[in-house]
Amino acid sequence: MVGGVLFHSLALVADAFHLTSDVLALGLALGALALAQRPPTERHTFGFERAEVLAAQANGVLLLVGAVGVVIEAIRRLGNPEKIDAAAVLVIGLAGLAVNVGSAAVLARSAHGNLNIRAAFWHLALDALGSVAVIIAAIGALVFGAERLDAVASLFIAVLIVLVAWRLLRDTTRVLLDAVPPDIDAAMVAAALGAADGVEAVHHLHVWTMGSERPALSAHVVLTGPLSLHDAQERATDLKAMLATRFGIQHVTLEVECHACVEDEVHVVPSEPARHAHHDH
C-alpha cells in the first residue's frame, strides 16, 4: 500500500487492498475455524459449524466493497493518467507474486472440502493474478511509456475480485438457505432409497449442508412389513451405509415407517390410578 502511494500506482494500491482484505479474511477464517470446533451447547444444539460460512460471506462482502473503490479510481485515471515509478512498481510486483504463489500453494492442500479455507485460497490465488497484472503494467510503463496500463491493470484486478466475491456470496447464501449441495442430486438420492430392498416409499426427503461442506439428509422411509422394531432399525442402518458410500452423506436421520409393524413385546405395568380406573370400569 505504501509503495502504491509513493510510486503513484493504482494497480499496486488495488493489489495491496486485496492483500489487506486477505489479512482480514484469514483472521476471520482462523476465528471461524476455532469457533466451529466448539462442541454443541443447550442453546446451539447444532454446534457452530456455520460460523465458517458466515466468515466466508463476510469475505465476499469485503471484496465487493473494495472492488467498487478500485473501479471508481481506475475510471478517473483512464481520463487523467498519472506518471508512475515503473521500476519500483515492478520490483514490488515481483515480490508480491512470489509471496502470493507460495501462500496459495500452502492453502491449496487444505482447500478441498472446506468452504472457508477455499475462500482464503481464492483470495491468495487471485492476488497472484493481480501481481501479474501489476508486473505487466509496470513493464508497459517502463518500456513503452504506457501510463494508462496501470489503470487498466487495476480494472482487471477489480474484475477478478468481483468474480470471486460473487462466487463466495452465491455459495454461502446457498448453505445458509439450506439448499441441496451442488454435487448431490436429490432426485437420484430419493431414487436410490426407493430402489433399496424392503423400501416401499420415500417422502419428506431433505438434503442440505450442515457446516462448511458437510452434507446432511433426513427422510421418512416406508418399509414393507410386517417387521419387528429391531428389523426396521437394521434396514435403516443398511440405508445409511448406502447413502454414505454412494453419495458421501454421513449425517443421516431416517424416520422409519411401515404399514403393519410388529412392535417388540414390552411389558408395561399400569400406574396406580390406571389400575383403579380399569377395575371400576
DSSP 64-109: HHHHHHHHHHHHHHHHS-----HHHHHHHHHHHHHHHHHHHHHHHT
What is the model's pLDDT at position 77? 87
- The alpha carbon torsion through 25, 26, 30, 32 (nearest 10 deg) reads 20
Contacts of 70 (CB under 8 A, 6+ apart): 10, 13, 14, 17, 154, 155, 157, 158, 161
What is the model's pLDDT at position 81? 83
What is the model's pLDDT at position 144? 87
What is the model's pLDDT at position 280? 47
What is the model's pLDDT at position 63? 82
Query: Under a CB-based contact definition with an 8 Å cutoff, are residues 157 and 14 in contact?
Result: yes
Q: Quick one: pLDDT band at residue 212, thresholds 50, 70, 90?
A: low
**Of 69 and 115, which is predicted with more confidence?**
69
| 273 has a pLDDT exceeding 60 | no
Which range (30-34, 57-61, 62-66, 256-260) has the least confidence?
256-260
DSSP H helices, the chain, are 2-6, 10-36, 51-79, 86-108, 115-144, 148-176, 186-195, 229-247, 272-280
Q: Quick one: pLDDT band at residue 265, thresholds 50, 70, 90?
A: very low
- The Cα–Cα gap between 70 and 150 comes to 12
Query: Under a CB-based contact definition with an 8 Å cutoff, are residues 261 and 232 in contact?
Result: yes
What is the model's pLDDT at position 269? 47
Q: Find the mean pLDDT for residues 204-212.
A: 86
- Cell 412392535 locates to 263
Burial of 107 (0-12, 13-18, 19+ CB in 10 A): buried
**Of 201 and 168, which is predicted with more confidence?**
201
What is Dmax (Cα atoms) for the chain?
107
Domains of the chain: 2-176 (1.20.1510.10), 186-258 (3.30.70.1350)
| 277 has a pLDDT exceeding 70 | no
- Taking each helix axis from N to C end, the angle separating 186-195 and 229-247, rounded to the nearest 10 degrees, works out to 140
What percent of the chain has a predicted confidence (pLDDT) above 90? Answer: 31
Cell of 110: 487444505
Q: Quick one: pLDDT band at residue 108, thresholds 50, 70, 90?
A: confident
Most confident region among 18-22, 150-154, 165-169 by mean pLDDT: 150-154
| 274 has a pLDDT exceeding 50 | no
Q: Find the mean pLDDT for residues 126-143.
A: 88
- The Cα–Cα gap between 227 and 237 comes to 15
| 11-52 per-position pLDDT tens digit | 888 888 777 766 776 777 677 778 778 888 888 888 887 887
- The Cα–Cα gap between 183 and 112 comes to 13
Most confident region among 29-43, 58-72, 105-119 by mean pLDDT: 58-72
Q: For all residues of the chain together, what is the average pLDDT?
A: 83
Burial of 226 (0-12, 13-18, 19+ CB in 10 A): exposed
